[in-house]
Amino acid sequence: MDLKKLASALIPDTDLLAPEKYEEIFPPRTVPNGAEVTRLAPSPTGFIHLGNLYSALADERAAHTTGGVFYLRIEDTDEKRKVEGAVESVIRSLKYFGIKFDEGAEIESPLNKYGPYYQRQRAKIYRSFVKKLLEQGLAYPCFCTAEELDEVRAKQTESKETTGYYGKYAKCRNLTEEEIYANLKAGKPFVIRLKSQGSIENKTTFRDAIKGDITVTENDQDVVILKSDGIPTYHFAHAIDDHFMRTTLVIRGEEWLSSLPVHIELHKVLGFKPPRYAHTCSLMKMDGGTKRKLSKRKDPELSLDYYRKAGYYPQAVVKYLMTVLNSNFEEWTLKNPDGDYKDFKFKIDKMGKSGALFDLDKLNDTSKTEISKLSAEECLAFLKGWVDEFGTDADKAHFEDKDYLIKILTLIMGIGGKKRRKDIERAEQGVRLLDYFFDDTFNPDYSYRFDKHTVNTVLEKFASVYDPADDNSAWFAKVKAIAPEVGFASEMSEYKANPEAFKGNVSDVAEILRIAITGSPNSPDLCTIMNILGKDRSVARLLKAKI
């Protein structure tokens, strides 16, 4: 068979570059020794999720802790999946979490020398290599229809054989020259398949950067490398792109592990040295007693928008992910509470080998801790950012008064005190903590644990003696002074020694006042709250709260 002629008939393009040319066009990168070149290669579905962020963070850290390059490539080989604006959305979302690319699709950079970074725009490159494989007899056209393939698969499943296009099932593998040209003449659509040289009898070990040594069986499937629309499949594009973009470390989800044999064979037939691979485990979730992979259809928490809407502090999400990525990160954080996570020595081989259950409690704790380290101004800026996008009209109006909010936040965050408070976990919840400082959102629940007389006496008495000029101890002295008037103990020690003798104690007096002022039995320092509210509003609230 004249393979050269066949290759030209199948790939009639007249403007293809010789495959060897690409080695010159995309020369090895000049990066320091040991530097990793990594990439994030999403398909442009527009849905960027936690798994992408997780992977992107690993890529970004692997590249930047070694002085390497992290780039963005768009895997748009599947026309059906394309969504408008998806690429910008990926970049924007990752940027929100502090992850930036050095080069790639839609990235302004002088480094963009290995593009184009959209696979559809790389069709010529792929086709040049497919043609070469055809000429070498390492690939062949296949005219099987989807129906035929389905039929074969059904039969294989029924007889419990391995499904796929291989061995005796590879019908088109041995088509004669006449048959091929006849099919071509008849205008039948075709795909190009790899003529696999492997056998499942041969097993080798392969070193994965995360999983360590794994057993791989040679590929014997005649996988499709070029689809009938002339665009390559993921497998083929991966081999070509990661070779010519000079990727050193391919970090991807472990769902790719099973197609590793295909990728190894592809690199082999193309004459490329494979990159190193790191297969990460998936983020899992507990569902009805068993673990399962986080799913974008079922789990809203997989979407990054979920975290933005809930108002998680972006850096906290990143830090949480870092603890999942490298468990010794947490220990490092404890030693370097104010350290930049970028100073941590990320190691790809420290990544966990088993799928981690996504731990919302831990994320919450991380977010709370991160927010507690902010200055009042930083916290205000963060909350305002959330309010601008997701807040109510009342929230937006409240956020006009910057000075007032700074006072409130200084109190809520415990700034100036011995220890920071950790009341704000997320913006969505933190903004609600502000409600009682504004009359329009003050929504008290006057459920007192004491009788009418006691409550009203406390309220009236305190309203009459309250003076905003009082410092904390003067304020508290007044609270204590009221206690005996309603039969409460004014000293805790006194009460504890003889609880039967009193109806209550100072803390109960404070509770009544607190409910009146804030609408809730729990709050930060009441004296300061009243001070922030001012005398008129404080007194008004005390009197309004009578029953």
From 104-112, 381-389, 417-425, 463-471, span contacting RNA (CB under 7 A): 417-425
Show the 3-state SS of 20-48.
CHHHHHCCCCCCCCCCCEEEECCCCCCCC
Does the footprint of RNA cover residue 429 (CB under 7 A)? no
Does the footprint of RNA cover residue 361 (CB under 7 A)? yes
Of the pair 35, 244, the CB lying nearest RNA is at 244
Contacts with RNA in 84-143 (CB under 7 A)?
Answer: none
Residue ranges of alpha helices (H) inside 212-349 are 234-244, 260-270, 304-310, 314-325, 328-335
What does the alpha-carbon distance between residue 48 and residue 316 come to, in Å, rounded to a whole number? 18
Check if the beta carbon of residue 324 is closer than 8 Å to that of residue 352: yes
Nearest to 444 by CA among 333, 534, 521: 521
Contacts with RNA in 238-257 (CB under 7 A)?
Answer: 254-257
Which H/E stretch holds residue 183?
Answer: helix 177-185
Task: Provide, rounded to whole angstroms, the least separation between the CB of residue 18 and RNA.
Answer: 25
Q: Write the burial class of residue 324 (CB in 10 Å: 0-12 exposed, 13-18 middle, 19+ buried).
A: buried
- What are the beta bridge partners of residue 207? 213
x/- letters, 457..496, toward RNA (CB under 7 A): ---------------x---x--x------------x----
Task: Provide, rounded to whole angstroms, the least separation between the CB of residue 300 and RNA.
Answer: 18
Of the pair 396, 449, the CB lying nearest RNA is at 449
Structure tokens at 461: 């008495």
Choosing from 38, 219, 248, 282, the residue that interacts with RNA (CB under 7 A) is 282
Contacts with RNA in 283-302 (CB under 7 A)?
Answer: 284, 286, 290-293
Choosing from 525, 537, 540, 546, the residue that interacts with RNA (CB under 7 A) is 525
Of the pair 233, 538, the CB lying nearest RNA is at 233
ω into residue 28 within 30 of 0, thus cis? no
Task: Provide, rounded to whole angstroms, the least separation between the CB of residue 148 and RNA.
Answer: 9
Check if the beta carbon of residue 44 is closer than 8 Å to that of residue 82: yes
Does the footprint of RNA cover residue 514 (CB under 7 A)? yes
Choosing from 128, 196, 367, 523, the residue that interacts with RNA (CB under 7 A) is 523
Does the footprint of RNA cover residue 443 (CB under 7 A)? no
Choosing from 124, 350, 452, 544, the residue that interacts with RNA (CB under 7 A) is 350
Task: Provide, rounded to whole angstroms, the least separation between the CB of residue 144 and RNA.
Answer: 6
Choosing from 8, 22, 81, 373, the residue that interacts with RNA (CB under 7 A) is 81
What does the alpha-carbon distance between residue 12 and residue 26 come to, in Å, rounded to a whole number? 25
Q: Hey, is 525 helix, strand or coil?
A: coil
Type of residue at 187: G
Does the footprint of RNA cover residue 352 (CB under 7 A)? yes
Task: Provide, rounded to whole angstroms, the least separation between the CB of residue 494 and RNA.
Answer: 12
Does the footprint of RNA cover residue 541 (CB under 7 A)? no
Contacts with RNA in 14-43 (CB under 7 A)?
Answer: 41-43
Of the pair 293, 535, the CB lying nearest RNA is at 293
Choosing from 12, 27, 67, 212, the residue that interacts with RNA (CB under 7 A) is 212
- What are the beta bridge partners of residue 193? 140, 224
Which H/E stretch holds residue 493?
Answer: helix 492-497
Task: Provide, rounded to whole angstroms, the least separation between the CB of residue 115 and RNA.
Answer: 17
Type of residue at 434: L
Choosing from 215, 297, 445, 500, the residue that interacts with RNA (CB under 7 A) is 215
Task: Provide, rounded to whole angstroms, the least separation between the CB of residue 19 and RNA.
Answer: 21
From 102-110, 356-364, 448-456, 481-489, span contacting RNA (CB under 7 A): 356-364
Choosing from 98, 521, 535, 543, the residue that interacts with RNA (CB under 7 A) is 521
Task: Provide, rounded to whole angstroms, the least separation between the CB of residue 433 and RNA.
Answer: 10
Task: Provide, rounded to whole angstroms, the least separation between the CB of residue 266 and RNA.
Answer: 13
What does the alpha-carbon distance between residue 498 and residue 485 come to, in Å, rounded to a whole number? 18
Cα–Cα distances (Å) from 486 to 467, 483, 499, 544, in that order, read: 21, 6, 15, 20
From 47-55, 99-107, 123-131, 282-290, span contacting RNA (CB under 7 A): 282-290
Check if the beta carbon of residue 350 is closer than 8 Å to that of residue 58: no
Does the footprint of RNA cover residue 214 (CB under 7 A)? yes
Nearest to 499 by CA among 509, 510, 487, 481: 487
Does the footprint of RNA cover residue 435 (CB under 7 A)? no
Residue ranges of alpha helices (H) inside 36-145 are 50-64, 86-96, 123-135
